[in-house]
Structure 1
């Protein structure tokens, strides 16, 4: 091969090698995220497997727990011939496995006293009766309340109240439970530190309307001396926000502080929209709360209402730092001392504090304000005492001046009388 041919072959090989190298580079670049893609595929496979497992379990539970001739939850909803009223938040639970999971989470046993809010067509009520519970059901819809009364007419295990739960006096209805718990707990704790009355508290199991979730929690969570377990159907997003224990998230709210102050919340399981009739537009979940007895609540230097108003003030403007929100409550000197007491810097925001830190902050600010008021009171007392002393001195001076004038006048009269006597003595009768 001559030199010209050899050079041409070399040039051809060089030009063909360059695109190949580029192709190899492109393939290598395409292969870089392969592991990430595989992880996503594996996660998707696990998710599908979990869905299949839940579907299988749901079918098994439905077939095992529904006796021959007994209506399924869906058949019970259909038989009610009731058009769901969305303005009342009516989404009837038709998945039997979810119902059983709710009872299992609340550990419902024979003789338990249960409060059910919004029983609807009675799908949950039926299973509670099977478990041997004594149910107090509160239903706002007159049509559904009447049907439940008819269904359980003569059954002492179920009492149906047609009422708006937020206007219903739950404390009065369960006052005998509260009294029994208090009487048993008066004996004191056993060697394990367990109070005997706590086991006799009632429970709450309910598929509640999502639009009154917060109001229901505000009513029931402080009743830790009456209720011991609460299991609710919640909107997934709201539940995650309320039960999160880690502060610092953007969705951390004053209600999260309230929930953890009164109870120990926990997540049970997700519930898809297909488990309801009609299906809601949001994802749902079962969530539980274990209310704390009053003796276990964190100690406050003030009332609970004052504490939660204080927490609300701290969250007044979430984009601002905590110290700026606290200026509506106390002065800069107290704020600086409080942040130092908590071990927090001045850039701390409201959502970064835990419930325990809010309790400590509230107590510190209250004690600082109390000390300040005491100092002001002492200063006022000293000042008033000083004013009183001044007035006493002025009064004494006036008395002394008046006394001096009287003495002077009296002395003057005596002098005049003496002069008159002298004049008399100096007269020589002729």
Structure 2
């Protein structure tokens, strides 16, 4: 029986194989499947744009290389070139992470010099000279320039151009870490010596005219840090002209009390200086052009003797102002409750002639000075018996920043979990930064 079953199974297998062979020979041939990988793909719009950009970049590099060879063969001096030719001859690709946008409009450069009233023999501080477009015009005006450049290639190029010229000193350094006071201590000493005799019959101090000046096309991402460092040096500098982002200029220069963009930095700027607007500057005036509009702005720093008197240190005053702006949507009295009691707040607002609905952005710089001095004087009734109102303001401001940092870190973790990646904690930055910056 087992033999019979095996025989039947063998015959069945042969029959099925025969049927499959018959079906394969009689059926119509199957259409050949096309290999998509071997087909020529139609170029996408993105790939076409990349090709065009690459062709433009290659053409621009070829143009600059040709121009650089021509200039080198003619041994042209830097002062004989146009701003655009100097940028091309430098053969330097702008580093946007350093905020490098070289000024190539000659009229804007001349307006900056006119605003600073640069004359023969003036000491000038230039931050970020780049390819030297502004430096050349300062040299023509007879100024003595101290240039601070962070980019090593550009600093070496400037040193080579002005090798042997005592009018130009180039420092390769990060300006925010550079000791400005030490470099200009001779200017500060001379001003103090001349002012020691006192003012003349017109009330003018003779040493003020010998202060240095600042003319610079600064990186926009360190605008606020530069102002914090230079504005208090009114005994060293008398005129400052900067290239600013238009938005930042409106916030710091044009913003009057009551405006929505009035910030603690606006109070700081008006405390230390007299800011003024010079002119707008379009993006086409730079190479490469920035993504924002720009403008020239000026500052006239006040000598230390002209600063408003404070019942405390300047650090305490600005910490107090920061605490007043802690929550801009709230009324000023609610922010002040972290500093002093309701009785002191009511008396302070009455002294200013303000009602209880006043908000932080409605006070002028002079009113903040009066408010600070009043709170320092009327320290009684404060909530913390061991610390002054201003010290409380400093603690409150720090607490708010730490709380904001914790919220941002928690949000980053949630976002990281949502996209499936890890995000490490980052330090909280000062919220007065530029492109506040």
Alignment partners' CA distance in 2, 1:98 and 1:90 = 17
Q: Secondary structure at the match of 2:278?
A: strand
Shift of 1:19: 76
Residue by residue over 1:382-413, the C-alpha shift from the partner in whole angstroms, topping out at 9 and shown as x without a partner, is: 99999999999999999999999999999999
Shift of 1:14: 90
Q: Is the 8 A contact 2:319 2:394 kept in 1?
A: no
Shift of 1:240: 1.2
Which residue of structure 2 aligns with residue 95 of structure 1? 105
Alignment partners' CA distance in 2, 1:15 and 1:144 = 79
Shift of 1:244: 2.3
Alignment partners' CA distance in 1, 2:41 and 2:362 = 41
Alignment partners' CA distance in 2, 1:62 and 1:50 = 18
Are the structure 2 counterparts of residues 321 and 143 from structure 1 closer, same or farther at C-alpha, using a change threshold of 3 Å?
same
Which residue of structure 1 aligns with residue 381 of structure 2? 372
Write 1 or 2 for the structure with the bigger share of helix: 1
In terms of mean alpha carbon deviation, does 189-198 or 392-401 score higher?
392-401
Q: Is the 8 A contact 1:62 1:96 kept in 2?
A: no
Are the structure 2 counterparts of residues 417 and 86 from structure 1 closer, same or farther at C-alpha, using a change threshold of 3 Å?
closer
Are the structure 2 counterparts of residues 152 and 321 from structure 1 closer, same or farther at C-alpha, using a change threshold of 3 Å?
same
Residue by residue over 1:56-105, the C-alpha shift from the partner in whole angstroms, topping out at 9 and shown as x without a partner, is: 99999999999998110000000000000000000000000000000000
What 5-or-longer segments of structure 2 have no aligned partner? 1-10
Q: Is the 8 A contact 2:273 2:301 kept in 1?
A: yes
- Moved segments of 4+, more than 3 Å: 1-69, 369-373, 375-418, 420-430
In terms of mean alpha carbon deviation, does 342-351 or 393-402 score higher?
393-402
Residue correspondence of structure 1 range 7-406 to structure 2 within 5 A: 70-244=80-254, 246-366=256-376, 369-371=378-380
Are the structure 2 counterparts of residues 397 and 84 from structure 1 closer, same or farther at C-alpha, using a change threshold of 3 Å?
closer
In terms of mean alpha carbon deviation, does 13-22 or 299-308 score higher?
13-22
Alignment partners' CA distance in 2, 1:54 and 1:273 = 21
Are the structure 2 counterparts of residues 23 and 171 from structure 1 closer, same or farther at C-alpha, using a change threshold of 3 Å?
same
Q: Is the 8 A contact 2:221 2:435 kept in 1?
A: no
Alignment partners' CA distance in 1, 2:114 and 2:227 = 21
Which residue of structure 1 aligns with residue 431 of structure 2? 424
Q: Is the 8 A contact 1:58 1:96 kept in 2?
A: no
Give the number of aligned pairs. 426
Alignment partners' CA distance in 2, 1:301 and 1:20 = 96
Alignment partners' CA distance in 1, 2:146 and 2:379 = 45
Q: Is the 8 A contact 2:67 2:89 kept in 1?
A: no
Shift of 1:421: 96
In the superposition, the TM-score normalised over structure 1's length comes to 0.71
Shift of 1:354: 0.3
Shift of 1:250: 0.5
Q: From the CA coordinates, give the structure whose radius of gyration is larger.
A: 1
Are the structure 2 counterparts of residues 64 and 189 from structure 1 closer, same or farther at C-alpha, using a change threshold of 3 Å?
farther
Q: Is the 8 A contact 2:316 2:390 kept in 1?
A: no
Q: Is the 8 A contact 1:213 1:234 kept in 2?
A: yes
Which residue of structure 2 aligns with residue 414 of structure 1? 422
Shift of 1:328: 1.0
In the superposition, the TM-score normalised over structure 2's length comes to 0.70
What 5-or-longer segments of structure 1 have no aligned partner? none
Are the structure 2 counterparts of residues 319 and 386 from structure 1 closer, same or farther at C-alpha, using a change threshold of 3 Å?
closer
Q: Secondary structure at the match of 1:371?
A: coil
Shift of 1:422: 100
Alignment partners' CA distance in 1, 2:327 and 2:318 = 16
Are the structure 2 counterparts of residues 77 and 240 from structure 1 closer, same or farther at C-alpha, using a change threshold of 3 Å?
same
In terms of mean alpha carbon deviation, does 83-92 or 383-392 score higher?
383-392
Are the structure 2 counterparts of residues 251 and 8 from structure 1 closer, same or farther at C-alpha, using a change threshold of 3 Å?
farther
Are the structure 2 counterparts of residues 63 and 294 from structure 1 closer, same or farther at C-alpha, using a change threshold of 3 Å?
farther
Are the structure 2 counterparts of residues 186 and 20 from structure 1 closer, same or farther at C-alpha, using a change threshold of 3 Å?
farther
Alignment partners' CA distance in 2, 1:53 and 1:403 = 48
Are the structure 2 counterparts of residues 311 and 71 from structure 1 closer, same or farther at C-alpha, using a change threshold of 3 Å?
same
Q: Is the 8 A contact 2:274 2:302 kept in 1?
A: yes
Are the structure 2 counterparts of residues 235 and 391 from structure 1 closer, same or farther at C-alpha, using a change threshold of 3 Å?
closer
Alignment partners' CA distance in 2, 1:426 and 1:239 = 13
Q: Is the 8 A contact 2:413 2:422 kept in 1?
A: no
Residue by residue over 1:318-363, the C-alpha shift from the partner in whole angstroms, topping out at 9 and shown as x without a partner, is: 0111001111111111001101110111111000000000000000
Alignment partners' CA distance in 1, 2:344 and 2:136 = 57
